[in-house]
Amino acid sequence: MIIAKKFSDINLNNFNKLIQNNGYVIIRGLFKKKEIREHLKILRKNFRAKRDNSSNSGGHREIMKNYQKICVGSSSKIQLKEKDKIYRLHRIIYNPIWSPDIYNLRSIFKKFCGLRNQFLNYRYDYATKKVEKKIWSATRILQYPKGGGHMSCHKDFVVSKVNKKNKIKFYQFILNMSQLGKDFKKGGAYIKKNKKIIYLEKFLKSGDILVYNGSSDHGVYEVDPNHKIEMSKLNGRVILMNSFYQTKIKKN
């Protein structure tokens, strides 16, 4: 784990080495826990279940605006082989930086993208204010609801395609809003490294940034499967992501 109050406190060689050796790194202190807990409260208040769309909805253009959907099962827009299918139950709320700030997360997302760009050696505001050479920052909220929210073990192939093409290091950044023990009792993120499963969620607190290599196997264990599911709420595991997306990805 790296503890730092600001980006300049971090040794980038050490950061890269930790990800190479362990497959992930946790950074604590860049966002204050209290600040993120407050934002989570506002997010839950401004959340509306009626904005949900279907699993398979949300084209390239639609998700470049505020767009909310529940993803269930393995169905996807791209035709996949059985072994490549990803099974999940989660809610995605796309909330691009140029869209109306309906969850009061603008400042958090801007800083989160800025930090990602610094870690990856890009200009601080790269691909955040506008699409740059077809690349934009897909700032979004992910919810794994109590009552079985999960994602099966996978590699981030779509993002990897984007990143390989553009020679971006294939790191994924997660900003943890919720916290195991507070918002849910069981489940959450894990990664596979050298055939060993590491249950990452138990190390994470609200405000922590988890960076992991998206080309290694990872997934989300079922969140509180004994709980009755209530999709009208934004409960369970709530995280922010900011992956680079390409405006149009060619089919194979």
Exposed (0-12), middle (13-18) or buried (19+): which is 225, by Cβ within 10 Å? middle
Looking from the CA of 131 toward its CB, the CA atoms found within 13 Å total 11
Find the shortest distance in angstroms from Cβ 137 to Fe ion.
16
Task: CB nearer to Fe ion: give 110 or 137.
Answer: 137
Binding site for Fe ion (CB under 5 A): 156
Provide the minimum distance between the beta carbon of 189 and Fe ion in the complex, in angstroms, as a whole number. 9
Instruction: Name the closest residue to Fe ion (Cβ).
Output: 156
- Round to whole Å and give the CA distance between 190 and 178: 16
Output 40 or 241, the one with its CB closest to Fe ion. 241
CB nearer Fe ion, residue 156 or residue 183: 156
Number of H-type helices and E-type strands within the chain: 4, 13
Distance, in Å, from the CA atom of 251 to the CA atom of 3, rounded to the nearest integer, reads 41
Place of tokens 């190479």: 20
Nearer to Fe ion, 156 or 208 (CB): 156
Collapsed DSSP state (helix, strand, coil) of residue 138:
strand
Shortest CB 125 distance to Fe ion, Å: 25
CB of 50 to Fe ion, least distance (A): 28
